[in-house]
Structure 1
Amino acid sequence: MERQDVTTIVLFEVPAQHASRFLSDWTASNDFMKQQSGLIDGTLYATADDNARYRFINVARWASETDLAEARKRHWEHLEAPSVNQREAWKTLGITVTPVNYAMVIIYSGTERAIEEEPR
C-alpha cells in the first residue's frame, strides 16, 4: 500500500554571488512543477546567514510518492533539454541540489497565549 501525502525537502547549496540567478531559475522550475499532477503546496525558504551551508530550502507536499516521482522525472527531462540545460549551468555555478522525502510522523503546534508563571 502506497503512503499518501509525502513531503519533500530539497536543500540548495548556492554561492552568495549566484543567489539572484538561482531564484530566477528556481522560479521558472517552480512554474513547471506547479503544472504537475499531485502538488499540494510548497514553500521556498532562504537564510539570512551568509555562512549557512544551505542558502535555500524548498518544502513541498505531494499527494503521493508516485506523483512526486513522475513530476521529478518530467522535471529532470525538462532541465536537460538543450534550450534549458539548467543542471549543467548550476553545476558550473557551484549550485548543488539534495532532495529528501519524508512521511509525516507527529503534528504539533505552539500555544497561542503566553502562560504566566506564578510568583515564587
Structure 2
Amino acid sequence: MTPVTTIVHFSMPVQNADRFLAFWQDDIRPAVERQPGLISGTFHRYLDTDSPFQFVNVAHWENAELLAAALHTSVQEMHDNGIDMFEVMRELGVAVSQNNYTEAVRYQGTAAT
C-alpha cells in the first residue's frame, strides 16, 4: 500500500480563527494522534489575514485506507466524548477542503543540510 499525504484547507471568519485553533489543538489533534497509520503532521497558520485559508493541515499516513478509517474513528471518538465536531465547525463558520496525494517527486534545498 502506498503512503498518502492529506492536505486540508480550513477557512472561516477571521474572528473565529483563534477559537478554531484551540478546538483543533484540544479536541481534533488528540483524537487523530491516537489513530493507527498516522506518520506525522503539521498544522500551519496563515501569515496574511486576507488569505482565503486561515489554516492548512498536512498529514502523512501509511495508506489511504488507514486515513479513511482514522477520520471516521476520530469523529466517532469525539462524539462519544460529547463533542460534535461538525456542529462546532458550523458554529465557527469553518469550511473544509481536503485532498489526498501520493508522492510524485521528492526534492530538497541546500538549507536542509
**TM > 0.5 between the two?**
yes
Give the AA of the match of 1:32: A
> What does residue range 1-120 of structure 1 map to in structure 2 within 5 Å?
2=1, 4-27=2-25, 28-81=27-80, 83-112=82-111
1:98 and 1:21 mapped to 2: Cα distance?
19
Secondary structure of the residue aligned to 2:97 is: strand
CA offsets per residue over residues 51-107 of structure 1, 9 Å max, x none?
100000000000111110100111232344581112112112211111110000001
**Distance in 1, Cα, partners of 2:41 & 2:71:** 15
Q: Which has the larger radius of gyration?
A: 1
Q: How many corresponding residue pairs?
A: 110
For residue 33 of structure 1, report the CA deviation from its aligned partner: 0.5
Q: Secondary structure at the match of 2:110?
A: coil
TM-score by length of 1: 0.84
Query: What is the TM-score when the length of structure 2 is the normalising length?
Result: 0.88
Gaps of 5+ in 1: 113-120
Given that 2:20 and 2:92 are in contact with CA atoms closer than 8 Å, whether structure 1 keeps it comes out as no
Structure 2: tracts of 5 or more residues without a match: none
SS in 2 for 1:48: coil
Secondary structure of the 1:29 match is helix
Distance 2:11 2:91 in 1: 13
Q: CA RMSD in A?
A: 1.5
User: Matched residues, percent identical?
Assistant: 34
